[in-house]
Amino acid sequence: DSGVTQTPKHLITATGQRVTLRCSPRSGDLSVYWYQQSLDQGLQFLIQYYNGEERAKGNILERFSAQQFPDLHSELNLSSLELGDSALYFCASSQVAGSPLHFGNGTRLTVT
């Protein structure tokens, strides 16, 4: 168990809808990362937060947004969903720069 908690585990929704994915980092970890993994694909970096502030942005669509709250949990908001957004979304956390990433078990999003 990595200590990173992601909810929900599965999400099925229709095109055009909006969903929120939640991540609770490991105790003591200040950094949260979001990754997208499509079927049989690698891990695409979306965005990173450190202690509530955005630190780095990857290939995150404008329809997607995220934030990290004072209690360090993070939410990834996906709006105007398209079929191609169906994927596994992983959250990872790390203590400080230079420390390993610890991944949650992901949220599987299916857009129908």
Partner 1 sequence: QQQVKQSPQSLIVQKGGISIINCAYENTAFDYFPWYQQFPGKGPALLIAIRPDVSEKKEGRFTISFNKSAKQFSLHIMDSQPGDSATYFCAASITSGTYKYIFGTGTRLKVLA
Span near partner 1 by CB under 8 A; candidates 12-20, 34-42, 62-70, 73-81 = 34-42
Q: Among all chains, which residue has been given the structure tokens 């995220």? A: 66
User: What per-residue string of b and e applies to 89-109 under the rule 16 or more CB within 10 Å gives b?
Assistant: bbbbbbeeeeeebbebebbeb
Regarding 104 and contact with partner 1 (CB under 8 A), the answer is yes
Work out whether the CA dihedral 105, 9, 30, 40 comes out positive or negative.
positive
- Min. distance of Cβ 44 from partner 1 in angstroms? 8
The helices-and-strands tally (H runs, E runs) of the chain is 0, 11
- Min. distance of Cβ 108 from partner 1 in angstroms? 9
**Binding marks (x or -) toward partner 1, 47..86, rule CB under 8 A?**
-x-x----xx-x----------------------------
Binding residue (CB under 8 A) for partner 1 from 21, 32, 72, 92: 92
